[in-house]
Amino acid sequence: MENNLPVNIREYQELAKKALSKMHYDYINGGAEDEHTLRDNIAAYGRILLRPRVLVDVSNIDMSTSLLGYNMPSPIIVAPTGSHNSKPRREVATAKAAASCNSLMVLSFSSNCRIEEVAASCDAIRFYQLYVFKKRAVSATLVRRAESNGFKAIVLTVDNPMLGRRERDIRNKMVAPAKPNLEGLISLENLDTTDGSQLVKYVRDTMDPSLSWKDVEWLKSITSLPILLKGILTAEDARKAVEAGVAGVIVSNHGGRQLDYAPATISVLEEVVKAVAGAVPVLVDGGIRRGTDVLKALALGARGVMVGRPVMYGLAARGEAGAKHVIEMLNRELELAMALCGCRSLAEITRDRVQTEGDRI
Ligand code: FNR
């Protein structure tokens, strides 16, 4: 078995497809409507080339960095993704995989495991991803539970006042069961009451389409944890986020699952980084499948990157060991990419190491 381990993320994706039901694979892998953004998140990395410098002594590569004062051995972070269904431990398996690589994990609100269970499973620095619900008290309770279970920051996802139209899920008649089970996809384990409705209905009933900057203020008023905004794609909103006093900005289009024809995240990263002007760290997610992608994102100004589907592929294919292997593989790929580009530390991954489409005009 060990000799037949996947050698890249694409191979993990193939294994995941074999391991999962069509409904589940489509749920993980799909995007909104024409899936243009989903595809372009990946394709856009292919349009950025590297500018390696040679004859640099790269016998020691240091990938360490920090975020909000927490040290990290690498800039690769586990993105919040809903409903980890690896048998039997679900998000606990992911949390253990991340912890064994000392990687930061952002636990999704739509977790199949309770916040307390993940927190108790292993020691690690973790952030908690939150949605603002129509009933603010529900969100407030989740924040309190995240705080009392040692989560270090709140990642507020702001790109889904309504659910994107995911046609694969519609075609598959995907359901959101009331309680997690090994077949169920979306679990509402961290809500105290639910009627087990379909995902779209559930989101319509609970997510608040009136979500606005006032809610960021409200969230700040109920927690002393730092808040990162996930789902920023423009300089205008990046500036507003800084004005609102957030601790970080995450350039994200929800992995192409919300607004189709939103730009590929890597293509707007630099715009956001310039607007933020160093006031807070900027992270990016969407389409990262290689260590070279991470290097490109860092060269364009990201402090770190988050990976969503790759970890889910690993988990689906080989449980905790698969998720761990995916994180390790991306770390090793980044290390090699840095060496071959002549970068000994993340600080040396400067803008001149990449050539974007704009640079070629
Ligand atoms: C997500 N994502 C997500 N984001 C979030 O803030 N809360 C959530 O519960 C989820 N759930 C979720 C489920 C699944 C199956 C996927 C694929 C994604 C979005 C996620 O955090 C991240 O933005 C993207 O996954 C990044 O793109 P890649 O790495 O999957 O290409």
Check whether 261 is labelled as a binding-site residue: no
Check whether 286 is labelled as a binding-site residue: yes
Nearest to 84 by CA among 96, 101, 102, 72: 96
Check whether 121 is labelled as a binding-site residue: no
Which residues are bridge partners to 284 per DSSP? 251, 305
Smallest CA separation from ligand 1 atom 10, residue: 81
Task: Centre a 10 Å sphere on the Cβ of residue 277 and count the other Cβ atoms it contains.
Answer: 10
SS (H, E, C) 258-282: CCCCCCCHHHHHHHHHHHHCCCCCE
- What is the three-class DSSP state of 40? helix
Cα-only R_g, the chain: 19
- Closest ligand 1 atom to 27 CA: 15
Smallest CA separation from ligand 1 atom 6, residue: 157
Query: Do 83 and 311 touch, CB atoms closer than 8 A?
Result: no
Catalytic residue among 24, 84, 254, 325: 254
Q: Are strands 76-78 and 70-72 parallel, antiparallel or unpaired?
A: unpaired
Q: Residue 361: its pLDDT value, please?
A: 84
Q: Residue 192: its pLDDT value, please?
A: 47
Q: Residue 171: its pLDDT value, please?
A: 87
Which residues are bridge partners to 155 per DSSP? 129, 228
- What is the three-class DSSP state of 114? coil
Separation between Cα atoms, residue 336 and residue 149, nearest integer Å: 36
CA of 58 to the centre of ligand 1 (A): 34
Q: Are strands 304-307 and 282-285 parallel, antiparallel or unpaired?
A: parallel
Place of tokens 């349009």: 47
Separation between Cα atoms, residue 90 and residue 240, nearest integer Å: 36
Who lines ligand 1 at CB under 6 A?
Answer: 27-28, 41, 79-82, 108-110, 129, 157, 230, 252, 254-255, 257, 285-288, 307-309
Reported ipTM exceeds the 0.85 cut: yes
Separation between Cα atoms, residue 174 and residue 162, nearest integer Å: 17
Smallest CA separation from ligand 1 atom 1, residue: 81
Q: Where are the beta strands (DSSP E) in 132-281?
A: 154-157, 227-232, 248-251
Each residue's pLDDT tens digit, 335-351: 999 999 999 999 999 99
Query: In testing the pocket of ligand 1, which one of 36, 257, 269 has its CB within 8 Å of the most ligand atoms?
Result: 257
36 is catalytic: no
CA of 54 to the centre of ligand 1 (A): 37
Parse the chain into domains and list their residue ranges. Answer: 2-360
Token digits of residue 304: 């770190």
The rounded average pLDDT for each run of 10 residues, N- to C-terminus, in the chain (361 residues) is 84 96 92 98 98 98 98 98 79 96 96 92 96 91 96 97 90 62 47 48 78 97 98 98 98 98 98 98 98 99 98 95 98 98 98 96 84
pTM recorded for the entire structure: 0.94
- Closest ligand 1 atom to 106 CA: 21
Looking at 3.40.50.720, 3.20.10.10, 3.20.20.70, 3.40.50.880, the CATH number of the domain 2-360 comes to: 3.20.20.70
CA of 127 to the centre of ligand 1 (A): 15
